[in-house]
Amino acid sequence: MSEQLLGARAICESLLREGVDTIFGIPGGAILPFYDALWHYPQLRHVLMRHEQAASHAAAAYARTTGRVGVCVSTSGPGATNLLTGLADAKMDSTPIVAITGQVARPFLGTEAFQECDTTGMAGPLLKKVYLVMDPKDIGSIIHEAFQVASEGRPGPVLIDVPKDVQAELADFSYSTASASGPKPPDNPSATAIAKAAQLLNEAERPLILAGNGVHLSRASADLQALAETANIPVINTLHGTGSFPRHHPLAMGMLGMHGMYANNIATCECDVIFAVGMRFDDRVIGRPGSFAPQAKVIHLEIEPAQVDKNVNADVPIIGDAKLVLSALLPSIFHNPRKAWFARLESLREEHPSLEIPAGGVLTPQFILSKLNAQLQRLADPVVVTGVGQHQMWAAQFITLNKAQSFVTSGGLGTMGFEVPAAIGAQVGRPNATVWSVAGDGGFQMTLQELATIVQEHLPIKFLLMNNGYHGMVRQWQELFYEHHYKATAVSGPDFVKLAAAYGISGARLDNQAHVETALAAAAAHDGPYLLDCHIAPEENVYPMVPPGASLAETVEDPRIVHTHQPLKAGPEGKVSYP
């Protein structure tokens, strides 16, 4: 039996039925009926952000650290357009979000009314799906479908645009639990594909597993570990695959790609089978198109068919959920010692110590992060959030987390400013976790207004601010590829410790290696948010690095690190010879 509810209250009731307990947002005119209804629902926690983009980033980090759908809300016009950057970021990174935006009343649609814009028209190409609610009786079914679409298959953001008068109109409310229509991954993976994959893995002499974000999304970390151990295959992770396989495991090798470990990049050039699990083979992973893994047969396990054969041709494509497929594959896998392959990998790591910290008394991010990593190992539930740039790559290299869903960063869209609001979403989603936000001084200044949100919500987030006075990654490219033509990359900033104090946040400045461990301990012990302003070497570069347009075989190491490696030589048809 249905009951009559205002559209705004129907939204609240629908959110409760989806298990929502937290909303990130900012009120405004066109969404006010919803906020009035929200007053009657104290069980729906509302986190008041200071900018709508920050609301969508916070919802994304909440989703990625909890495994639930994140929810954000904004008003129409500029509120909705501000929200879109974070939603586009979520689409690239396969993050489930339901965004609810207010819209002008139905009679004013298309009239260029105050704060009107075509929200669904703009959002449609960027998101997984969009809805414009024109009848309040449809609210229940639309919200249920939106949550289903956001979380099923390859997850992603969904937007629901609700005109103001729809929110204020009385209508029959019923909550449909019918399944949304649309393509879904198969429940049972192809038996033929499983058999082919098992044969390739069992017979491989030099195999690698590449673990991506899909391992997190399908909660398949334990299944991946079981398969890797059974088959005795080394595991390399993508940026978003960080933490999907325990970093301290003997088979773990760390990250590959543009700033991945040298040994890992070279290993992909020498391997004979690659098992890619839940990854898209994006350009930062594969390097120059057509050059990736020239000697390898590729098994590509992916939930979204459109990603298969898009950037790297798959010899054995497997469409399905990573957890289901790994479970189905495991019984057909047997152990293989592969002593020669492991000896080769070990020699690569010894000759090319990508995590060696350059000597000298200058304060470097590598040194700081190595000390932070040591501290994190003693914690029960650490979470690390980063922005985008040099600090992001250093963090991915030096932070070795063993728990899934504990490393949160902006990958596909590469959104600067992600580090502050995403830390909010992570801390709200995992209130008992110790959340560290590793930030750059450039990106930090894009969303630092959210420090007010952190204080208002009493969130004990710790900030490790890598302050080099530059947009560091852009400066690095200008140095290496544009003849040191530094233009618009030097970034001035405030005294960040004083700025934090103005918001009511404690902090300290760090500019000496001798004080790093003491400073990190003080930050960790502080009961509340804390900002550590680290004045690092201004022109420190991230290595290893694959130059733009180069292959992984052309990975460049830190020139300060001496090694004995003999360069790989390309043979006929571009194949790289295996030593």
User: How many domains does one find in the chain?
Assistant: 3
Q: What gap in Å lies between CA 384 and CA 429, rounded to an integer?
A: 13
Write down the pLDDT at residue 120: 96
Write down the pLDDT at residue 361: 78
Predicted confidence (pLDDT) per residue in 327-347, tens digit: 999 999 999 999 999 999 999
Q: Is the pLDDT of residue 577 over 50?
A: no
Write down the pLDDT at residue 568: 37
- Whether residues 339 and 452 share a domain: the answer is no
Write down the pLDDT at residue 233: 98
Predicted confidence (pLDDT) per residue in 373-421, tens digit: 999 999 999 999 999 999 999 999 999 988 889 999 999 999 999 999 9
* β-pair partners for 45: 22
Note down the domain range covering 399: 365-535
* β-pair partners for 338: none
> Region 236-263: what's the mean pLDDT?
95
- Whether residues 339 and 296 share a domain: the answer is yes
Q: Residue 579 — pLDDT band, cuts 50, 70, 90?
A: very low
- Whether residues 127 and 223 share a domain: the answer is no
Q: Is the pLDDT of residue 186 over 90?
A: no
Write down the pLDDT at residue 181: 62
Write down the pLDDT at residue 182: 62
Write down the pLDDT at residue 1: 52
Q: What gap in Å lies between CA 568 and CA 15, rounded to an integer?
A: 57
- Whether residues 268 and 393 share a domain: the answer is no
556 belongs to a structural domain:
no
Please identify, among 351, 386, 421, the residue that sits at the C-terminal boundary of a domain. 351
Q: What gap in Å lies between CA 352 and CA 370, rounded to an integer?
A: 18
CATH number at residue 114: 3.40.50.970
- 3-state SS assignment for residue 437: strand
Contact 28, 62 (CB under 8 A): no
475: exposed, middle or buried (Cβ count in 10 Å: 0-12, 13-18, 19+): buried
Q: Is the pLDDT of residue 77 over 90?
A: yes
- Whether residues 371 and 347 share a domain: the answer is no
- 3-state SS assignment for residue 26: coil
Phi, psi of 455 (to 5 degrees): -70, -45
The percentage of residues in the chain with a pLDDT greater than 90, rounded to a whole number, is: 91
Q: Is the pLDDT of residue 96 over 90?
A: yes
Q: Is the pLDDT of residue 185 over 80?
A: no
Write down the pLDDT at residue 178: 75
* DSSP H or E run through 186: none
DSSP letter for 353, please.
Answer: -
- Residue 43, number of CB atoms within 10 A of its CB: 9
Q: Which residues are marked as active site?
A: 52, 114-115, 164, 473
- Residue 335, number of CB atoms within 10 A of its CB: 11
522: exposed, middle or buried (Cβ count in 10 Å: 0-12, 13-18, 19+): middle
Residue 241 C-alpha from the chain's centroid: 9
> Region 132-153: what's the mean pLDDT?
96
Q: What gap in Å lies between CA 474 and CA 493, rounded to an integer?
A: 17
- Whether residues 369 and 345 share a domain: the answer is no
Q: Is the pLDDT of residue 571 over 90?
A: no
Nearest CA among 356, 387, 389 for reference residue 544: 356
- Whether residues 99 and 235 share a domain: the answer is no
Q: Is the pLDDT of residue 355 over 70?
A: yes
> Region 26-53: what's the mean pLDDT?
98
- Whether residues 278 and 204 share a domain: the answer is yes
Q: Is the pLDDT of residue 5 over 50?
A: yes
Q: What gap in Å lies between CA 542 and CA 394, rounded to an integer?
A: 7
Peptide bond into 107 cis (omega under 30): no
- Whether residues 158 and 207 share a domain: the answer is no
> Region 229-256: what's the mean pLDDT?
96
318 belongs to a structural domain:
yes
- Whether residues 291 and 423 share a domain: the answer is no
Q: Is the pLDDT of residue 290 over 90?
A: yes
Q: Residue 564 — pLDDT band, cuts 50, 70, 90?
A: very low
Predicted confidence (pLDDT) per residue in 453-467, tens digit: 999 999 999 999 999
179 belongs to a structural domain:
no
Write down the pLDDT at residue 3: 86
Q: Is the pLDDT of residue 55 over 60?
A: yes
Q: Is the pLDDT of residue 555 over 90?
A: yes
Length of the chain: 579
